[in-house]
Amino acid sequence: MNHLKHFFIIAFLLKGFLALGQNTDQVKKRGPADEYSRNSISYVLLDFPDNRYSDYLKKAIYQASVPSKFDYNDIKDKVYKAPYYHVETPNFKKNAEAVRRSLAAEKYANKIVKFWWNIDDEGNYSTDIIQKRGFYNATDWDVEKADAEKRGRAALADAGEKLIAKSYVLVLDFHDIKTMKEIYDAQDAKAMKLAKKLGTEFTPVERKKNGFTGKLTAYLFKVNYSDTVQGYFMDAFIDDQKIDLQKLDNIFQEVYSPLTYISQKEVTVDGTQANPGQFLAPAIQKTKEQLMAKLVNDGINKIFNSLEKTYEEFRVKTPLVNTNPLQAKIGKKEGLTHERRFFVWEYVANNKGDVVARKRGEIRARKVVDNRNDELGQTQTSTFYQIGGHRLNEGMTLQERKDAGIGISGGFSFIGGGFAHADINVGQWLDIPVRQFKLYGDMFFRGKDLIAQSPVGTMPFTEDTYSFTSFSIGIQKEYPFARNYHFGWYIGWTGETVSWTDMNDGESLSASGINWGAQIGANLFSPSVQLIMRFNSHNYGTLYYTADADTESVDTGVNMSDMFPDRSFFGADLSLRINF
C-alpha cells in the first residue's frame, strides 16, 4: 500500500506541473490558427580561414537539402567570410549582431527579394516564382474564396507576394570538426597513459567508424518585408517588365534592420559511416566529400527539428475537415510523416471577449498522402488517430507538435522489487505506417528471501537471501481506445541473474528465455504521462552456474522453478510512463 500511496502523490504533483505548462500554451496561442503559410529558407555558410575543412564545407553547402515543408530561396552567394573568430567561450548575441551587420552590408535581403521577383542585372523581372508559390501555398478554402470573387484565381498568385515576408535566412557556423581517427587516437592516448600509470595492459579502442563529427551553431534571421517596404518597392517599378535597380537598392536603407534576428541554436553534427567489416557497413564507402555533405545536412535537419519545437511559424497548422475518421488536408507537401504528433485547438471567446485557444486533444498521423502534385482546390486528406483529450469536431485546428517518440517509465512489481522501462515508436522513427508499434527494454530488480532446494546437483545451495536482476528486450504493440486509454501486448527475450549473501567473487546463477505479457494504460492529464498496469509471465531454460570469473558457465540441468519453488513466474506491475 505504501507503494501505491507514493505513486499517486507523484502523479498528483505531475498534474499540477502539466497544468501550468498547458495554461502557458493557451496564452501564447491566440487568433485563427489556420493562417499557416509556407516559409522559405536560404542558407549561408560562414567561412573561417583557419578551418582546415573549409573547402569541404564550401562544396557541401551547395548540396544541402531543404525540408519539403519549406520553399528554397536558392541565392547564388552561399558562402561569406565569418565576421568573428572562434573563441573558447563565444558571445552568441554579439556574434549574431556581427552576422546581421555583415549580411546587411552585402545587401543580402535585397538578393532575396530579387530572387522572389526574378530580377536580373538589367532590371527585368517576372512574377513566375511568386505566382507558382502563391498557387502551391493555397488551401482548398483559399481556392473556393478566390473562385467566388471577380478576379478569380488570379488573386491566389498575388497572395504569393505575402509569402516574401516569410523568408528566413539560416546562417551556419560549423566548428570543432574532427575525424573519427583523431577521436580514436585521443582515446587511445588517454587509455595508454592510464594503463602506464596503473601498470595494466593497454587495450586499443575498437575503431568502428570513419568520417567526421563536430558542432554547428546556427543563427536564424527573417527578412523584414513589411507593408512599408512593399510600398517603397511598388514605387520602384518602371513598367510591367522593368524595375529601377537604384530605387530597389535603396529600399532597405529605409528600414532600420533589413534582417531581424530570431534565434540561435547549437547541435552536434555527424557525418560518419561504419568501417568495412562492421555491422551495417555500406557496401561502397562514401568519400570524404560525401561524408561532409552528410554532416552538413545532419546539422540542418537537427536545427529545423529544434526550430519546429520552439517557434510557432515553423509549425504546420490546418483545420480538421472530418472526424470519422479524423482527417486534415495536409501531407508530404507540408513535411508530414507517419506518427507525427499534433495538438488540436478550439478557439473560443473568453469573458473579456478575446479569442483564445483551448487545447482539446492530441492526435497522430496514421495515413500520410502525397499531395505535392494535387490539383488546385482538390487537396487529398491524411488520416489521424486520437491519443488523448476530449471529443473533437470539424473546424478545430491541428497544430504540429513534434515529439521524440520515446517513453521512459518506472514502477514496482507486485511480486516485489522495482523496474525501469524504455520504449521507442518504430513507425515514428522510420516513417512507416505502423500505429504504436514499439521496441522496448526492461530492467527488473527483485530482492526476496527464498529457500533454495539443497543440494542442487553438486552445488550446496542453502537457505539464504536471494536477489534477482533481470532484463528484457522485445516488441510491443499498443491500441488506443476511448480517446484516453490503450491496451496492448508485448513479447521479448529475457535474461536473469541470481545473487545471494554468501556468494563468492565471480560466482553467479543465470537463466534466459522468453517473456510476454499484456498491458492496459490510461492518460494522466495528457498522453505525455500515463499510468500503466502490466500482467506478465516468462519461460526460462535451465540455470547456468558460474563458480568464479575464470570458470565457464555450466548448464546445471535444473530449472528455476526446481531450485526456487516459491519463485513466481506470473506477475503484475504498475508504472508511470513519461512520453516525450
Residue 342 and residue 454 share a domain? no
Task: Indicate whether 16 belongs to any domain.
Answer: no
Q: Torsions phi, psi of 523, nearest 5?
A: -70, 140
Residue 168 and residue 102 share a domain? yes
Using DSSP bridges, classify how beta strands 406-413 and 397-400 pair: parallel, antiparallel or unpaired. unpaired
pTM of the complete model: 0.83
Residue that the C-alpha cell 518585408 belongs to: 225
Confidence at 464, pLDDT banded by 50, 70, 90 = low
Instruction: Report how far apart, in Å, the C-alpha atoms of 555 and of each of 466, 468, 504 are.
Output: 19, 18, 19
Pinpoint the alpha helices (H) of 174-318: 180-198, 227-235, 245-251, 288-310
Summarize the confidence of residues 226-245 as an average pLDDT. 84
Does residue 461 or residue 242 have the better pLDDT? 242
Residue 523 and residue 413 share a domain? yes
Task: Indicate whether 562 belongs to any domain.
Answer: yes
Residue 90 and residue 187 share a domain? yes
Residue 427 and residue 357 share a domain? no
Confidence at 16, pLDDT banded by 50, 70, 90 = very low
Residue 185 and residue 48 share a domain? yes
**β partners of residue 263:** 220
In terms of residue numbers, what domain contains 355? 316-400
pLDDT per position as a tens digit, 283-295 = 999 999 999 999 9
Pinpoint the alpha helices (H) of 50-179: 54-60, 92-105, 108-117, 128-137, 140-147, 154-158
Residue 247 and residue 224 share a domain? yes
Grid coordinates in use for 31?
487568433
Task: Indicate whether 457 belongs to any domain.
Answer: yes
Task: Indicate whether 15 belongs to any domain.
Answer: no
Q: What is the CATH number of the domain that holds 362?
A: 2.40.10
Residue 463 and residue 528 share a domain? yes
Q: Kindly tell me if the per-residue pLDDT of 26 is higher than 50.
A: no
Q: What is the CATH number of the domain that holds 454?
A: 2.40.160.70
Q: How far apart are the first and last CA of the chain?
A: 29
**β partners of residue 268:** 215
pLDDT at position 10 is: 45
Distance CA 219, CA 169 (A): 8
Give the total number of structural domains in the chain.
3
| Range scoring the smallest mean pLDDT among 149-163, 322-336, 423-437 | 149-163
Residue 101 and residue 245 share a domain? yes
Task: Indicate whether 303 belongs to any domain.
Answer: yes
Highest mean pLDDT out of 66-75, 253-262, 372-381, 439-448: 66-75
Does residue 15 or residue 77 have the better pLDDT? 77
Q: Which of 400, 430, 451 is the last residue of a domain?
A: 400
Grid coordinates in use for 51?
578551418
Task: Indicate whether 3 belongs to any domain.
Answer: no
Distance CA 405, CA 308 (A): 15
Cβ distance 342 to 362 under 8 Å? Answer: yes
Confidence at 462, pLDDT banded by 50, 70, 90 = low
Using DSSP bridges, classify how beta strands 341-349 and 397-400 pair: parallel, antiparallel or unpaired. antiparallel
Distance CA 376, CA 133 (A): 12
Q: Which of 380, 400, 420 is the last residue of a domain?
A: 400
Instruction: Report how far apart, in Å, the C-alpha atoms of 74 and of each of 174, 209, 335 are.
Output: 20, 34, 19
Question: What is the chain's mean pLDDT, rounded?
Answer: 87
Q: Which of 400, 418, 442 is the last residue of a domain?
A: 400
Residue 217 and residue 144 share a domain? yes
Instruction: Report how far apart, in Å, the C-alpha atoms of 275 and of each of 70, 188, 271, 506 are.
Output: 35, 18, 13, 35
Summarize the confidence of residues 132-145 as an average pLDDT. 85
Task: Indicate whether 14 belongs to any domain.
Answer: no
Residue 396 and residue 419 share a domain? no
Q: Kindly tell me if the per-residue pLDDT of 6 is higher than 60.
A: no
Task: Indicate whether 32 belongs to any domain.
Answer: no
Distance CA 80, CA 92 (A): 18
Q: Kindly tell me if the per-residue pLDDT of 22 is higher than 60.
A: no
Residue 298 and residue 155 share a domain? yes
Cβ distance 381 to 321 under 8 Å? Answer: yes
- Residue by residue, what is the 3-state secondary structure of 159-186? HHHHHHHHEEEEEEEEEEEEEHHHHHHH
Please tell me the total number of residues recorded for the chain in this structure.
580
